[in-house]
Amino acid sequence: MPLPPLGRQTVGMRIEILQGDITTRSVDAIVNAANSSLLGGGGVDGAIHRAAGPELLEACRGLRRAGLPAGLPVGAAVATPGFKLPARWVIHTVGPNRHAGETDPELLGSCFRESLTVADGLGARSVAFPAVSAGIYGWDARQVAEIAFDAVDRFASSPAAGRASDSPLELVEFVLFSEDTTAVFRSVFGA
């Protein structure tokens, strides 16, 4: 049985944690834990590509042709339309892969910060994140949650972190597929 949503208000922004399918969220933008090719994959990436339809793959190919011939770097973020998703935009970010030796927490923090900056630049009022780099990329869900919440708190409270003083961003959701990961995020969030 899914855990009920948990939320709290931070400086000018609400943060919520819920268990569910990120592809069904009616938010302005969802974040895709993409691979650097931007051409789809497994897990959240594959689910988002399937739900958005083939237009998403074509938009990602366009990004590659237009300025990312080597793919999206780890820690960076870029947006495409959401196509068939309820979300207007998909923000693609490439998390660090611990199994490939990418163990710097700063790289993981950059995924969240850059995604928030892109969402802000799009004029999004709401954005939903998965547990970027948890799972197949080998990062512990607790560490992902700590880094993610720190990035959101810093973004919400500091113009130096990229947040414009008139930012429309009001809601950040963490939409987690498994009950175990949701429980970990809730535990860190409530600490």
Catalytic residues: 45
**Helix or strand holding residue 54 (H, E):** helix 54-67
On whether the CB atoms of residues 128 and 173 are closer than 8 A, the answer is yes
CA-atom Rg of the chain in angstroms: 15
**Dihedral angle of Cα 38, 41, 46, 50, to the nearest 10 degrees:** 70
3 state SS of 160: helix
Cβ count within 10 A of residue 138: 15
- The closest alpha carbon to 98, from 146, 137, 42, belongs to 137
Tell me the helix, strand and coil percentages in the chain, rounded to 5. Answer: 45, 20, 35
- What does the block give as tokens for 136? 């197949």
